[in-house]
Amino acid sequence: MSTISMELVKKLRDRTQVGMMDCKKALEQTNGDFDQAVEILRKKGAAVAAKRADNVTNHGRIESFINADSTVGVLVESACETDFSANTQAMKDFVVGVAEHIATKNSPSVETLLKESFSKNPAISVQHYLDELVAKICESTKVNRFVRFDVTGHGLINVYIHPGSTVGVMVELATDKAPQPHLEALRTLAKDICMQIAVTNPLCVLSNDLDPKAVEKERALAQEQLQPSGKPAAVIEKIIQGKLEKFYQDACLMNQPFIKNDKITVKQYIADTAKSMGLVVTVKQFKRFAIGR
């Protein structure tokens, strides 16, 4: 058996993020063959993943990637068994790496994503990259879901990841003309909206976007609550309308009081900010991920 240098062990550890002792054992097993040692560690990760596949993964991490001109954005949610593993640097690097990969490859689904050659190291697949992570943290770990936004026309994308990386929001703003002269101000506006969504969890942008079934459900619930009151039908209908207005305010982003100034709505905040830049700005879409929800 050849002597395994610490430099080679460290190189393997840097490549796979697996512990030093496991790297040393893999190199000893392959008589110092680096590539074979990498493959052994990948297989170990795959074996751990198979063994723990049925374990509950209630924890995880949300990360994102936005390209340089803010026209492509990706939000990714991972899942794992413990909060400890979710907060490791290895997990963060993996989820950020996957987000950047999706921005490059435009993966259509998690299943396809895992089969693709990893953009930062085309010699391996994303699944192999995941196997390497599992070999390190020894937990069932998954790419739970992701979403990608691409600006068409004028606009930009920004994200907000809440401290702890358990809630993440991505927003696409559309503008009536090229946003380049006001990119930083628009990024701030988009981030403020992301933070609003992180806190309030709206169902949609505008009241017109609400599912009619959701509105009818709210109406039926209010009707059921008020029916035993004995109030006249006209009074009950007025109260129901008031409850629906409150529902619209809570459920629709534009109707919500702005969290940084509750004297104005989000709609007013966007309009005032856009006017100061000489733009018309609308929220085209948003996505909110929360671990376990």
Per-residue pLDDT, averaged over 14-34, amounts to 81
3-class DSSP state of 117? strand
Q: Nearest 5°: CA angle at 267, between 264 and 272? A: 75
Is residue 271's pLDDT more than 70?
A: yes
CA distances from 98 to 109, 115, 130, 157 (A): 12, 12, 10, 18
Please state the pTM of the whole predicted model.
0.80
Is residue 192's pLDDT more than 70?
A: yes
Cα–chain-centroid distance for residue 271? 27
Residue appearing with tokens 């909110």:
288
CA distance 244 to 194: 25
Q: What percentage of the chain reaches a pLDDT higher than 70?
A: 95
Residues 105-150: pLDDT tens digits?
989 999 999 999 999 989 889 998 998 888 788 888 999 999 999 9
Please provide the DSSP assignment of 161-203 as one string. Answer: E-TTSSEEEEEEEEESS--GGGHHHHHHHHHHHHHHHHHH--S
In this predicted structure, which of 75-79, 165-169, 233-237 has the lowest mean pLDDT? 233-237
Residue-wise over 74-107: b if at least 16 C-beta within 10 A, else e?
A: bbbbbbbbeeebbebebbeebbbbbbbbbbbbeb
pLDDT of amino acid 48: 63
Residues 26-70: pLDDT tens digits?
888 888 888 888 888 777 766 566 566 666 688 999 999 999 999
Q: Give the pair of three-digit tokens for residue 20.
A: 């030093």
User: In this structure, which amino acid lies at residue 12?
Assistant: L
5 vs 254, residue with greater confidence? 254
Domains of the chain, CATH where assigned:
6-51 (1.10.8.10), 211-251 (no CATH)
Tell me the pLDDT of the chain averaged across its residues: 89
pLDDT of amino acid 218: 80
Residues 69-79: pLDDT tens digits?
999 999 999 99
Per-residue pLDDT, averaged over 224-237, amounts to 80
In this predicted structure, which of 83-97, 119-133, 234-248 has the lowest mean pLDDT? 234-248
CA distance 160 to 194: 6
